[in-house]
């Protein structure tokens, strides 16, 4: 604890509401001076966990746990003091005091680095408004950037000449190369970024640590970034995060888009919580950064093939971060457009609609599995099932994992095996089944997917639509299975009796009939009736 001065933890306690923090995990209701909920530290059904917002502590009258905002975060997430402080600081949107002891030399080097990158950014900005940067300014204005936005994001222009290496020729070359802005070739130092529209990349402390340069002559790649340096790691950096941080906290969600210009335009059209990876695929580090504030993310990708692939990838990366309180969604911008174009051509409302209609992760995963595998063949279904199973196993919260598994079992039964109906349609004629029985069957199917799987062929042969929502059955799993077996036997008996009646009426009308068949039917009838009696007997 000594590593932090007390004023910082006090500031956290002051900035954050204890009720807010606890409410992320426990449903609280106000009663009198306190808020009450079911204790997260012991198993209980009636609330004995009290939270006093004013005094800033909680107390459980069931198990005796008590503490404040920091101990709650440590205990409920099973993390140490430092991590709890860091998470709360993120929640509060305030900077963590630096605790890592850096050598004086290291601090000096970092200061020089930042000094160079910030000065370079200033130089690039000036150049954007010079003759040399005319075409760059024209381009960015055409993309809908105002002077104000250009200033806010520090956008600039790197000319075709070696502007950085010549302007900073009083600085030691190894200090320049450390920033990635200058490289040394066989003819001496040269600038890495040339004829590029420059987007500064900020760290969490709002300092410029790197740049992303966009080509202006249509050459590929569209964007090049500073190669990783001591202070910049592409896989751990989200473009726009420094600007989005407060909004992510305030709006309790983040939006991830594919491109930097998209992120800027989103931020300036009311979606302040938007960020973008830096021309790379999303990484676990990216998700971890976002999940520090909250676990509610909307991924907004292009509707094309690449966008779908990126979404599937994001889905597998985010799964280990999923909690039962998370809201992870996938939105797609279709028609070969990106968020920037939607905002420009169709307006903010259209974009709102796309975000609002984003698909929940559970549905997205199901959807993509059905798209990517031939689920109308047994082999395809097996592959799809393996993939789904693998995905679901990545969810850390076991109870939540179980729920999702059940959900997919239901879907597998209701959607994948529907096609079997056709196959059976004309083979088995079911004697009238009353509506009550049908409803019991439906609720069994809904409640116990494992029974559905076991008696799938029989259930499907009934040609009843099971996909409508009904109440869960009150039968135990054993009773439910007995119900299905006895129902199956009754149907067999009814069918056999119908056959027997036909046979006998033929005989009465003087027609030929198969005596052996009649005996066969009688034997079977006895067998089924005995079995049914035994089953019902055991039931008593």
Give the interface segment with Zn ion, choosing from 63-71, 208-216, 273-281, 304-312 (CB under 5 A): 63-71
Determine which residue in the list 27, 33, 63, 382 makes contact with Zn ion, applying CB under 5 A. Answer: 63
- Asked if 60 interacts with Zn ion (CB under 5 A), we say yes
> Closest separation between CB of residue 261 and Zn ion, Å?
51
Phi, psi (5° rounding) for residue 263? Answer: -60, -45
> Closest separation between CB of residue 233 and Zn ion, Å?
41
| Strand order through the sheet with 208-215 | 156-158, 196-202, 208-215, 223-225
> Closest separation between CB of residue 48 and Zn ion, Å?
7
Report the largest interatomic distance among the alpha carbons of the chain, rounded to a whole angstrom: 119
Give the interface segment with Zn ion, choosing from 9-17, 58-66, 403-411, 443-451 (CB under 5 A): 58-66
Report the 10 Å Cβ neighbour count for 18: 20
Q: How many whole angstroms separate alpha carbon 146 and alpha carbon 149?
A: 5
Q: How many residues does the chain have?
A: 540
Hey, is 200 helix, strand or coil? Answer: strand
Instruction: State which residue, 8 or 41, has the beta carbon closest to Zn ion.
Output: 41
CB crowding 261-270: b at 16 or more within 10 Å, else e: bbbbbbbbbe
Instruction: State which residue, 62 or 380, has the beta carbon closest to Zn ion.
Output: 62
| Beta carbons within 8 Å of 244's beta carbon, 6+ residues apart | 254, 263, 267, 272, 273, 274, 275
> Closest separation between CB of residue 487 and Zn ion, Å?
46
Instruction: State which residue, 41 or 424, has the beta carbon closest to Zn ion.
Output: 41
Of 28-47, binders to Zn ion (CB under 5 A) are 39, 41-42
Q: Are 192 and 165 in contact (CB under 8 A)?
A: no
Q: At CA 318, angle to CA 312 and CA 321, rounded to 5?
A: 160
Instruction: State which residue, 76 or 236, has the beta carbon closest to Zn ion.
Output: 76
| Residue 298 falls in which region: left (phi positive, over 0), alpha (psi -120 to 50) or beta | beta
Give the interface segment with Zn ion, choosing from 17-25, 51-59, 62-70, 138-146 (CB under 5 A): 62-70
> Closest separation between CB of residue 51 and Zn ion, Å?
12
Instruction: State which residue, 60 or 315, has the beta carbon closest to Zn ion.
Output: 60
- Asked if 61 interacts with Zn ion (CB under 5 A), we say no
> Closest separation between CB of residue 12 and Zn ion, Å?
24
Instruction: State which residue, 23 or 383, has the beta carbon closest to Zn ion.
Output: 23
Number of residues that bind Zn ion (CB under 5 A): 6
Instruction: State which residue, 50 or 319, has the beta carbon closest to Zn ion.
Output: 50
Determine which residue in the list 25, 53, 62, 518 makes contact with Zn ion, applying CB under 5 A. Answer: 62
Instruction: State which residue, 48 or 406, has the beta carbon closest to Zn ion.
Output: 48
Q: How many whole angstroms separate alpha carbon 358 and alpha carbon 298?
A: 7
- Asked if 51 interacts with Zn ion (CB under 5 A), we say no
CB crowding 68-94: b at 16 or more within 10 Å, else e: bbbebbbebeeeeeeebbbbbbbbbee
Q: Are 52 and 33 in contact (CB under 8 A)?
A: yes
> Closest separation between CB of residue 39 and Zn ion, Å?
3
Given the rule CB under 5 A, which residues bind Zn ion? 39, 41-42, 60, 62-63
């Amino acid at each position: 604890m000594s590593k932090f001065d007390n004023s910082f933890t006090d500031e956290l306690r002051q900035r954050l509401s204890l009720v807010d923090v606890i409410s992320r995990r426990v449903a609280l209701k106000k009663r009198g001076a306190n808020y009450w909920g079911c204790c997260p530290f012991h198993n209980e059904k009636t609330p004995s966990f009290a939270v006093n917002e004013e005094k800033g502590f909680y107390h459980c009258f069931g198990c005796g746990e008590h503490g404040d905002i920091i101990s709650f975060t440590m205990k409920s997430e099973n993390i140490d003091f430092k991590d709890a402080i860091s998470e709360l600081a993120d929640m509060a949107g305030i900077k963590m005091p630096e605790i890592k002891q850096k050598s004086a030399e290291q601090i000096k080097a970092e200061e020089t680095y930042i000094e160079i990158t910030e000065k370079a950014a200033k130089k690039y900005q000036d150049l954007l408004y010079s003759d040399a940067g005319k075409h760059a300014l024209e381009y960015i204005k055409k993309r809908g950037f105002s002077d104000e936005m250009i200033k806010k994001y520090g956008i600039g222009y790197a000319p075709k000449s070696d502007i950085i290496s010549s302007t900073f020729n009083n600085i030691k070359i190894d200090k320049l190369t450390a920033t990635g802005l200058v490289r040394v070739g066989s003819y001496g130092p040269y600038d890495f970024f040339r004829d590029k529209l420059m987007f500064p990349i900020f760290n969490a402390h709002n300092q410029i640590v790197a740049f992303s340069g966009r080509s202006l002559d249509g050459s590929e790649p569209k964007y090049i970034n500073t190669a990783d340096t001591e202070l910049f790691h592409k896989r751990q950096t989200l473009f726009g995060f420094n600007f989005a941080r407060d909004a992510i906290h305030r709006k309790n969600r983040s939006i991830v888009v594919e491109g930097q210009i998209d992120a800027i335009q989103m931020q300036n059209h009311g979606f302040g919580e938007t960020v973008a990876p830096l021309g790379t695929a999303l990484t676990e580090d990216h998700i971890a950064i976002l999940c520090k504030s909250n676990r509610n993310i909307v991924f907004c990708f292009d509707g094309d093939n690449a966008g779908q692939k990126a979404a599937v990838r994001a889905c597998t990366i985010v799964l280990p971060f999923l909690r039962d309180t998370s809201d992870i969604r996938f939105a797609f911008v279709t028609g070969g457009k990106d968020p920037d174009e939607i905002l420009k051509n169709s307006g903010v409302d259209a974009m709102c609609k796309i975000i609002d209609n984003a698909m929940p992760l559970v549905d997205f995963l199901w959807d993509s599995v059905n798209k990517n595998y031939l689920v109308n063949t047994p082999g395809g279904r097996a592959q799809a099932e393996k993939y789904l199973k693998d995905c679901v196993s990545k969810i850390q919260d076991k109870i939540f994992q179980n729920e999702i598994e059940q959900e997919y079992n239901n879907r597998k039964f209701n959607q994948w095996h529907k096609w079997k109906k056709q196959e059976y349609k004309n083979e088995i004629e079911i004697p009238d089944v009353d509506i009550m029985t049908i409803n019991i069957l439906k609720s069994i199917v809904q409640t116990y997917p494992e029974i559905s799987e076991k008696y799938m062929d029989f259930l499907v042969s009934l040609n009843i639509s099971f996909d409508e929502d009904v109440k869960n059955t009150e039968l135990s799993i054993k009773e439910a299975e007995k119900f299905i077996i006895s129902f199956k036997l009754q149907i067999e008996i009814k069918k056999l009796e119908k056959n027997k009646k036909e046979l006998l009426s033929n005989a009465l009308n003087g027609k030929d009939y198969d005596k052996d068949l009649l005996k066969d039917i009688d034997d079977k009838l006895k067998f089924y009736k005995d079995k049914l009696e035994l089953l019902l007997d055991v039931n008593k």
